Amino acid sequence: MKRVIFNQKGGVGKSSITCNLAAVSAAEGLKTLVVDLDPQGNSSTYLTGKRTADMKDTVADFFEQTVAFNIFSKKPEDFVHSTPFADLFVLPSSPELDFMERKLETRHKIYKLREALKSLSQTFDRIYIDTAPALNFYTRSALIASDSCLIPFDCDDFSRQALYNIMGEIQDLQEDHNQDLKIEGIIVNQYQAQASLPRQLILELLDEGLPVLPVRLSSSIKMKESHQEHQPLIYMAPKHKLTQQFVDLHKVLQGEEVELEAL
């Protein structure tokens, strides 16, 4: 299963959701890979504690070899790095992605990531892809390469409008490049249970028939502490409420039943 986490609106928690879902997956014994396509490299740093500018054999290096002649090209697995956590791996980002984008577009390399992830799927049980908050070359590559898309939603009107735009763009991409891609669900993030606006927005999205996932991720300072410690929540605070919400969300994505809080 290859999932891309994407929203064109920044600050909705893409990297946090990507890494924590992947960490839960790994903690449950599934060999899991995070592919970091955001030039900021937040997922890479979160999982390894290293700056992406200091890392070698990154996703930028993978893309670079697709446009350069090499007698001995590396295999996709040669760009995969281990993390301190069992069964959790990362294909790290690089600041060089920004500079390479135009060259990759003009060379029509949009399907190279799909080929690589098809190969890596033979090794990994789950692949989670983090993207920049833009529908750029790398995000399109990820959507073409994936089985499903998860859309973070942080319960405000700006995010709601972005949500409609994303769903329209995904529909276009499905028709042209990846008919098997599905919108697996909308992840409500930074949810404040005591506020009326988030509840109202969620109910309206459900009334419109949109695939809002039933587990809502709370707003918590524990997430920032997790970033600072470079430890996903399942390792740093396994009994915390937000951690358990990620566990429940992972169960939902696995098709398992969970006890849900009422809106």
Judge whether 24 and 171 are in contact, CB under 8 Å.
no
Specify if 263 maps to a domain.
Answer: no
CATH number for the domain that contains residue 133: 3.40.50.300
Strands (E), 212-256: 212-218
Tokens standing for residue 88: 């959790």
Instruction: Please choose, from the candidates 163, 109, 106, the residue with its C-alpha nearest in 3D space to the C-alpha of residue 138.
Output: 109
Total Cβ atoms within 10 A of residue 197: 11
Domain of 35, in residue numbers: 2-253
Count of CA atoms in the C-beta half-sphere (13 A) of 193: 9
As a whole number of Å, the end-to-end CA separation of the chain is: 30
Q: What pLDDT was estimated at residue 193?
A: 80
Specify if 242 maps to a domain.
Answer: yes
Q: What pLDDT was estimated at residue 11?
A: 84
Instruction: Measure the CA–CA gap between 213 and 99, rounded to whole angstroms.
Output: 36
Residues paired with 5 in a beta bridge: 130, 150
Domain count across the chain: 1
Residues paired with 38 in a beta bridge: none
What pTM value is reported for the model?
Answer: 0.95
Each residue's pLDDT expressed in tens, for the chain with a length of 263 residues: 999 999 988 888 999 999 999 999 999 999 999 999 999 999 999 999 999 999 999 999 999 999 876 767 899 999 999 999 999 999 999 999 999 999 999 888 999 999 999 999 999 999 999 999 999 999 999 999 999 999 999 887 777 888 888 888 999 999 999 999 999 999 999 998 888 888 899 999 999 999 999 999 999 999 999 999 999 999 999 999 999 999 999 999 999 988 777 66
The per-type count for the chain, helices as H runs and strands as E runs, is: 11, 8
Specify if 226 maps to a domain.
Answer: yes
Specify if 6 maps to a domain.
Answer: yes
Specify if 261 maps to a domain.
Answer: no
Q: In what order do the strands lie in the sheet with 81-82?
A: 81-82, 88-91, 32-36, 126-130, 2-5, 148-153, 182-191, 212-218
Specify if 108 maps to a domain.
Answer: yes
Judge whether 21 and 128 are in contact, CB under 8 Å.
yes
Report the chain's C-alpha Rg in angstroms: 18
Q: What pLDDT was estimated at residue 263?
A: 62
Specify if 33 maps to a domain.
Answer: yes
Specify if 205 maps to a domain.
Answer: yes
Which burial class, exposed, middle or buried, applies to 152 when counting CB atoms under 10 A from its CB (0-12, 13-18, 19+)?
buried
